[in-house]
Structure 1
Amino acid sequence: MEKKPASAPVALLSVSDKTGIIELGQALSRHGWKLLSTGGTASALRQAGLPVTEVSDHTGFPEIMGGRVKTLHPSVHGGILARRGSDEAVLAEHGITAIDLVVVNLYPFSQTIARPDCSIEEAIEQIDIGGPAMVRAAAKNHAA
């Protein structure tokens, strides 16, 4: 029986502070990783000449509500939470790709609310939901 070639590992990069993200993306790409990313991060990686798939293309669902909902999707969280060696059938059944690495930093909430001119509305928009959810999912599945 012929062995199926292994898929390239997938890294999900979604950062507010883009410091060092190009260099990391270049290193991952050079080592054969597939890059998956959200809007602004994907744009930065693409401008640097890196091949990147937008999360919205990966999920088949656009970013909505002004970017409030980007990564909160079963194709993202299922890919992060899938236990290697036991959840492959579920991934295949639902067409979900495993995500092997999550690179996230959160919205700068503390810096935003420290500004004297910060409005309540601006502060509310800096409450990150998707980032912490991905960090927690990756932490839960760190050993898988």
Structure 2
Amino acid sequence: MDFLPIRRAILSVTDKTGLVDFASFLVERKVELVSTGGTQKALEKAGLPVTAVSTVTGFPEILGGRVKTLHPKIHAGILCNKDNPEHLRTIAEKGILPFDLVCVNLYDFAGAVERKLSLEQAVEEIDIGGPCMIRAAAKNFHSVLVLPSTQWYEAAMQEMSAHDMRVGLPFRQLMASRAFEATSRYDALICSYIRPGD
């Protein structure tokens, strides 16, 4: 798919810089928003319409928030290849709607390290669902736009504005590469931190 129409987005961000402005841009252009926890609350506080992830999945957040987006109704919606009729049939049969945009940035593990939390406390700052969504969307960049950092909001809005709320393949591929770069840095930091001393 050369140009991807943006109609449905999932937003789940730790860094909320620019979130409301970006989400407002989407809402003004009739994009449906799905969100989690603190991101959902920030959007609702700004008066923006947003659907809770738990409403989409039919399952509440559990284990203190450790499990919320790890669900087929989220990941099949992200991983569906929109050029594959079998994929489209499958999600239709299962009542799953596809996502076009995944806007996720990760728990601040670096901040946990800087605050000198105990190991037990620090591991609670290891994001699981976020990297899963980012990597899924990056893998499926032919069908999904992933934005792994607030720094890309402006470029994404320019891209969408220039193409009537569609996003070209080169920009999606660039964002996919940035997404894998972000998750690899995140994993490297965690690996270094939890490795027992020699």
Query: TM-score higher than 0.5 here?
Result: yes
Q: State yes or no: 1:113 paired with 2:113.
A: yes
Say how many residue pairs are matched: 137
Displacement after TM superposition at 1:113 (Å): 1.1
Q: Select 1:68's aligned residue among 50, 66, 69.
A: 66
Secondary structure of 1:113's partner? helix
Secondary structure of 2:96's partner? coil
Please, which runs of 5 or more residues in structure 1 have no aligned partner?
1-7
Q: State yes or no: 1:134 paired with 2:133.
A: yes
Amino acid at match of 2:72: P
Amino acid at match of 2:138: A
Query: More helix by proportion, 1 or 2?
Result: 2
Q: Which residue of 2 aligns with 1:59?
A: 57
Secondary structure of 1:104's partner? strand
Q: Which residue of 1 aligns with 2:20?
A: 22
Q: Select 2:79's aligned residue among 74, 78, 81.
A: 81
Displacement after TM superposition at 1:125 (Å): 0.3
Cα deviation 1:90-119 (Å, max 9, x = unaligned): 111111010100000000001111223x11
Q: Which aligned segments of 4 or more residues in structure 1 are displaced greater than 4 angstroms?
A: none
Secondary structure of 1:69's partner? coil
Q: Which residue of 2 aligns with 1:104?
A: 104
Percent of aligned pairs with the same amino acid: 54
Q: Which residue of 2 aligns with 1:12?
A: 10
Cα deviation 1:117-137 (Å, max 9, x = unaligned): x11121010010000000100
Displacement after TM superposition at 1:39 (Å): 1.2
Secondary structure of 1:36's partner? strand
Secondary structure of 2:68's partner? coil
Q: Which residue of 2 aligns with 1:4?
A: none
Distance 2:126 2:49 in 1: 30
Displacement after TM superposition at 1:77 (Å): 0.3
Let me know the Cα RMSD of the aligned residues: 1.3
Distance 1:113 1:70 in 2: 24
Q: Which residue of 2 aligns with 1:3?
A: none
